[in-house]
Structure 1
């Protein structure tokens, strides 16, 4: 294609040619090339839709807009050169540099679009950890953007060795000036690699008033949606100095309740506890591989207390409370089946009537 453009430049640079006609001709060629590309793309897209794999759709989708842009911008640089040759006698070597920059930009653009398409496709499959996929995509984008910037600088004639030398000294200065920014960046890297939580997890911190669902983990800050639907923006450096609790990774949820019986039902406590334990052992929503305890615990001020200690199979917050409600209602039914009842706070007042000693004078009435 480059040799064809060179021949066209030689042809159109002849003094007896009108540059307006030349530009119009090149624009027409660009239009027909663009139409041909759209037809080819539509055909490739149709073929890709018929295949079982989806990676061909991902690759083809990344090429559409960048190739169309190249088919218009490359001939545009040729047209610019033809126009400027008619008015400027100086060398137009910078046009070759412009073409090289265009090629680099199109290549980086295709790669970034490909990374975005791959990220979206993998996330849609829901077979990989969302946080890990996003982290790899961000690192890949950053890597290719840096490669593109360095390629731009080299094409413009800048010395990369000198730039790297300056970067070593300048990096120290920038590092001191942007200490907080860098600490947040490395805090984000720590989250990505250590993975104490991921997007969608419910987290809380006993050290800070932080609790909610993780919506996004960025390079500088993490967005947490609290339970009253307020967004909470937490700098990533905070997570390196606080304790983070992740209830989303619980294996079970615990039911730990103390129930008091009346003192008048003292002779029924043992049988009630046995029946409650049998009920819990046969409950379909409780995990019998975990600890199960039902024992008389204490003599309360107005009740005989026994406690229930067990774990549910579910970790879902709503379902957990449904299971807990079912367990407590069945415990209450067992207590009533034994003609007993749950105690409530009571007080017993004992009044003793004292007898006056012999010979104690009583006041006379009416005197």
Structure 2
């Protein structure tokens, strides 16, 4: 077939120089290489201009597809050319089997198509997980899970297609897989447990990449960096990587502070018993200060009340929530609130209480009756 296609093209050359008939297959091989090279140059020229034209518009599926399959298609041109060369060699007594060109063309096409689809999946995943103005960013964890599943499907289909093309019965492999799967399941039960644990993490989504998670059951706390099919990598706050098997998340409680709506300020402030007459006004002023604070969420619970009679202080409770959930900003707001509370207490002439003991000494040594207190009451104060 190839010789029939090239014969009209090379006929004028052979008619003009009859001596070239002895080198017919060499000339045919050189012609194939030249045609493949010209097709490659033309393909590059067309795709470069097409991509440049598409890049002027908003990135869409057609541009992603073209960028992904450009290199595989260029390689496919050379694979087809190689298969044609093998056919020429096999027909002219070279040490090449007769069906080598067909086999190279068939297996090469399967593998190159699979490679192009994998590149397209990777490009789509990278595109939809990159933040860009005017476009909603896809959740990174979901995109990673879908991309992994699609890549697995492509690899399995490509492998089965290659086996079928090689003459191996797929039905026999599937039957063997069903029987051997039981033995493999017992041998790799931990691996399967981690796999299904990762699947549950992807489906339930208790956390995603970038979240701060912690477990009250285990010493696990840090930022999620990667969720794999077997392990989840968490970066602890001292910058150490922590690798947690996914099966662990099926048996522990996981807290996700990254999803909290507010951060809480919960403190007890104590003033002296000598300032008992000023406590009500102090509490009222602190409550009004919190209501007027720009960083306090007044739509959440806000409590400022005298809470208890302590051993050496009158304690009032401050319970409120900040609008921000950022760790550093939260502490700055909390510091500002506590300094304002101190200013309110001092503005009323009151003072903070500290642990105090008052010791009443019987007056027997001073000549008084045992039940009569001495004029001086010794007061020992200590922090």
TM-score w.r.t. length of structure 2? 0.87
Aligned counterpart, 2:149: 139
Q: Per-residue deviation at 1:50? A: 2.0
Q: Quick one: which of 67, 70, 75 aligns to 1:64?
A: 70
Q: Deviations over 1:209-247 (max 9, x none)?
A: 110000111111111011011111111111111110000
1:26 equivalenced with 2:24 (yes/no): no
SS in 2 for 1:311: strand
Q: Structure 2: how far apart are the matches of 1:84 and 1:9?
A: 18
1:73–1:200 Cα change, 3 Å:
same
1:15 Cα deviation from its structure 2 partner: 8.9
What is the match of residue 99 of structure 1? 105
The reply on whether 1:119 has 2:106 as its aligned counterpart is no
CA distance 1:6–1:46, shift in 2 (3 Å): farther
Tell me the alpha carbon deviations over residues 61-116 of structure 1, each in whole angstroms, 9 at most, x when there is no partner. Answer: 11221011111122112213323443468852243232111111111111111111
Q: Is the 8 A contact 1:122 1:128 kept in 2?
A: yes
Shift in Å, 1:4: 5.6
Secondary structure at 2:358 match in 1:
coil
- After superposing the two structures, state which structure 1 stretch, 280-289 or 74-83, moved more: 74-83
Contact 1:5 1:78 in 2 (8 A): no
State the distance in 1 between where 2:351 and 2:130 align: 54
Q: Could you say which residue in structure 2 is the equivalent of 1:209?
A: 219
CA 1:142–1:87: 2 relative to 1, 3 Å? same
- In the TM superposition, 1:245-260 aligns within 5 A as 245-260=255-270
In structure 2, the CA distance between the partners of 1:293 and 1:5, relative to structure 1 (3 Å rule), is farther
Say if 1:224 and 1:233, in contact at 8 Å, map to a contact too.
Answer: yes
**Do 1:9 and 1:82's aligned partners in 2 also have CA atoms closer than 8 Å?**
no
List gaps (5 residues or longer) in structure 1. 359-367
Q: 1:235 to 1:10 in 2, by over 3 A?
A: farther
Q: Equivalent of 1:37, from 35, 40, 43?
A: 43
CA distances 1:233-285 after superposition (whole Å, capped 9, x unpaired): 11111111111000001011111001110111111111111111111122121
Aligned counterparts of 1:9 and 1:326: Cα–Cα separation in 2: 90
Question: Of residues 84, 87, 90 in structure 2, which corresponds to 1:81?
Answer: 87
Greater shift after overlay, 17-26 or 116-125? 17-26
> In the alignment, which residue of structure 2 is the partner of 1:268?
278
Could you state the TM-score of these two structures normalised by the residue count of structure 1?
0.90
Aligned length: 355
Tell me what 1:224 maps to.
234
Unaligned runs of 5+ in 2: 11-19, 369-383
1:1-367 equivalent positions in 2, closer than 5 A: 7-8=5-6, 16-17=22-23, 19-87=25-93, 92-125=98-131, 127-355=137-365
SS at match of 2:130: helix
Kindly indicate whether the alpha-carbon contact (under 8 Å) linking 2:231 and 2:244 is maintained by their aligned counterparts in 1. yes
Distance in 2, matches of 1:95 and 1:118, equals 34
| Bigger relative CO (Cα 8 Å, ≥ 6 apart) | 1
Which residue of structure 2 aligns with residue 362 of structure 1?
A: none
Contact preservation (8 Å) 1:115, 1:140:
yes
- 1 CA distance for matches of 2:61 and 2:175? 41
RMSD: 2.4
Q: Would you say the 8 A contact 2:209–2:224 is kept in 1?
A: yes
Structure-2 change in CA distance of 1:134 and 1:270 (3 Å): same
Instruction: Summarize the Cα distance change of 1:259–1:5 in structure 2 as closer, same or farther, 3 Å threshold.
Output: farther
Q: Does the C-alpha gap of structure 1 residues 4 and 153 become closer, same or farther in structure 2, counting only changes over 3 Å?
A: same
Question: Shift in Å at residue 194 of structure 1?
Answer: 0.3
For residues 89 and 38 of structure 1, what CA distance do their matches in structure 2 show?
34
Cα drift, residue 154 of structure 1: 0.9
